[in-house]
Amino acid sequence: MLLFTWQVHWASFVVLALVLGALVWYVASTRRVVSRGRTWSVWRTVFFVVGILVVAYATDGGIAHYEASNFTAHAVQIFLLTNVGPPLLALGAPITLALQSSSPRTTNWLMTVLHSRAVRALSQPLVAFGLAMGMLFAYFLTPLYAISERHPVFLTFLHLLFAVVVMMLWILIVGQDRLPRRLGYGMRLVLAFLLVPFNLALGLAIANVAQPLYPAANTMADTQAGGNVFLGLAEVFAVVVIALLFVEWAREEERKAVRADRQLDAALAVARASVGPDKGLPSEPRAN
């Protein structure tokens, strides 16, 4: 039931159409890029496809069947929509793909949008972080949660909103797309580290509420268990992201060092060729 059940509400079919549309666009765009003689990483495609599957399952799959009656299931669902699906989609570099696969007119329009004041404001690290975390706190710790449970269409809209808003933060953290404001690895690590205390605070706040967030369907024990599950999953995932960022940072520094060595070797070769071997230019040390 949890793995293979699919929702049959009309809003679920709308979501399914949206995610399948995104998947078809991505695959078609990668083929268009390759047909133009460019390369596109297979891993980017894999990340995006898996991210789409995660979002589709979280919104319409078996986990969604239990979200109204089991708060722990809902906590896992929100975790998938905010901490698993969006970073995988961001690793697929969809913005870069759109720029490389579109017509010149569409590309110019996309560049205008990316350099607009709205996108520049939303891509500010603190703004993106504040929107993502503020949205989650507001959802769980205000009457918004109970309202969404009574209105399935509104709940579906909120789920998609979570994925879109949080994805902006993950685009900044994983750094695959070249936005007008692309962060260095230091700032990306800061954002990843900030996720830890905020997720800790949210999980603890949920686990210590005075009454169930939706008393009509959830028990107190279930609510507390859901808060602890969300906390544990989010912290484990944050540690994984931080470790991957450290590895990628180290690889980037290694690539920079190799490029610098090659540039130095090329400069020395040009200098020797221009002034001759007897002018006293330094030469590379010979091995004994």
DSSP per-residue codes, 77-121: HHHIIIIIHHHHHHHT-HHHHHHHHS-HHHHHHHHHHHTSHHHHH
> What's the pLDDT at 30?
94
Q: How many CA atoms lie within 13 A of 103 on its CB side?
A: 2
pLDDT tops 90 at residue 24: yes
- Single-letter amino acid code for the residue at 145: Y
CB atoms within 10 A of CB 82: 27
Radius of gyration, alpha carbons of the chain: 24
Q: Categorise residue 183: left if φ over 0, alpha if ψ from -120 to 50, beta otherwise.
A: beta
Q: What is the pLDDT averaged over residues 18-34?
A: 92
Q: How many helices (H) does the chain have, and how many strands (E)? A: 13, 0
> What's the pLDDT at 151?
84
Reported as a single tens digit per residue, the pLDDT across 152-207 is: 888 888 888 888 888 888 888 887 777 766 777 778 888 888 888 888 888 888 88
Give the burial class of 29: count Cβ atoms within 10 A of its Cβ; 0-12 exposed, 13-18 middle, 19 or more buried. Answer: middle
Give the burial class of 75: count Cβ atoms within 10 A of its Cβ; 0-12 exposed, 13-18 middle, 19 or more buried. Answer: buried
> Whole-angstrom Cα distance, residue 30 to residue 44?
10
Residue linked to tokens 């107190």: 220
> Whole-angstrom Cα distance, residue 283 to residue 146?
74
Q: Which of 200, 177, 193, 181 is nearest to 245 (CA)?
A: 193
> For residue 194, what are its two tokens?
């900030």
- The pLDDT-based confidence of 73 (bands split at 50, 70, 90) is confident
Of the spans 131-145, 182-196, 232-246, 254-268, which averages the highest pLDDT? 131-145
pTM equals: 0.79
> For residue 145, what are its two tokens?
């949660």
